[in-house]
Structure 1
């Protein structure tokens, strides 16, 4: 697959396709709801994960369309068919790769449970994001605990060396820091 420059429809609408990855319960659906200001992705307050299949949510903001791809946790068996499902969504937009991957991690999760091997994470990112995967992947640690910076450093050492880090907190009304993370996606795409 070759990287395709961002596509514009006849009315100059910019389209951003953003894949949201992370472990079960780390706030992928919550992030989408915060960014869109709507409760469209199912979330749960109990310990049972809500997202069991890949789903896309479209949000329009000024002359841009954001396609958020919500995924099951990478630590769940349901996450094994993510690549195939994402490829079907990309085909609808005539794309080979997503524009960005936002990898979420909850700061209250002190330990990464059942982590994928670093090489499998890199392979997944390359497959979904293309050869420029490092510049298109953003680690977003959610929360404002004292351990957030330590956790970010540990995750960078294991998986995300050299990648952008965007700590954030969630505010469902208006998106809060979710748009600080998304503005990095826009900046990355405009430089390509």
Structure 2
């Protein structure tokens, strides 16, 4: 991957956030940026209906977080074209990392996407090295979380990292713990 450098020699990282509706994609972005940028709700209705990008600076790097509708919704079925437009804006062929969020205590009941379509999406958006640049972040501190992580890894994510995630909008600590496992800041 060729990194894009702007005139300030600032490193730019593009991170795609995927998951099902209601699994905390927008909350993850708010935790990572330390701001309430992406709309969130405690209702049963999803907030994100279109692909959007949010930028934050950390140290001497710029992080572009791409928020997506749930992959189980009609709006989330064809995110590739919208993500492609954002990648073109940052002169990229692929995202630098994919964070796939899953909430272990789901409140929204939906039909999950087929495992093969998820893997194809990862390969398309992250390139041949998608396994090393994708992480499953599991939210929710239930006793079943460890069992759930293993089941999800077996179905969708064989060979990728799995990390717990707790919402912390103030400092984004957990979000950055997840990100640091797939992004090496230069």
SS at match of 1:186: coil
Q: Which residue of 2 aligns with 1:146?
A: 143
Q: Residue by residue, what CA displacement relative to the aligned partner does 1:22-65 show, whole Å, maximum 9, x if unpaired?
A: 00000000000011111010001111100000000000111000
Matched, 1:30 2:54: no
Question: How do residues 52-91 of structure 1 correspond to structure 2 at under 5 angstroms?
Answer: 52-91=49-88
Within-5 A mapping of 1:26-175? 26-109=23-106, 113-175=110-172
| Cα deviation 1:111-131 (Å, max 9, x = unaligned) | 984121111111111110001
Corresponding residue SS for 1:126 = helix
2:177 is aligned to 180
Q: After TM superposition, which residue ranges in structure 1, 4 or more long, deviate above 4 angstroms?
A: none
CA drift of 1:9 comes to: 2.1
CA contact (8 A) 2:104 2:138 kept: yes
Cα distance change of structure 1 residues 148 and 110 upon mapping to structure 2, 3 Å threshold:
farther
Q: Give structure 1 stretches of 5+ with no counterpart.
A: none
Q: Distance in 1 between matches of 2:129 and 2:109?
A: 26
Higher mean C-alpha deviation, range 109-118 or range 11-20: 109-118
- RMSD over equivalenced CA pairs, Å: 1.6
**TM-score relative to the length of structure 2:** 0.95
The answer for the alignment partner of 1:14 in structure 2 is 11
Cα deviation per residue 1:160-183 (whole Å; 9 max; x = unaligned)?
011011111111111131110111
Deviates more, 1:21-30 or 1:171-180: 171-180
The answer (yes or no) to whether the contact 1:20–1:70 under 8 Å persists in 2 is yes
Q: When the two structures are aligned, how many residues end up with a matched partner?
A: 186
How far residue 94 of structure 1 moved from its aligned partner, in angstroms, is 0.6
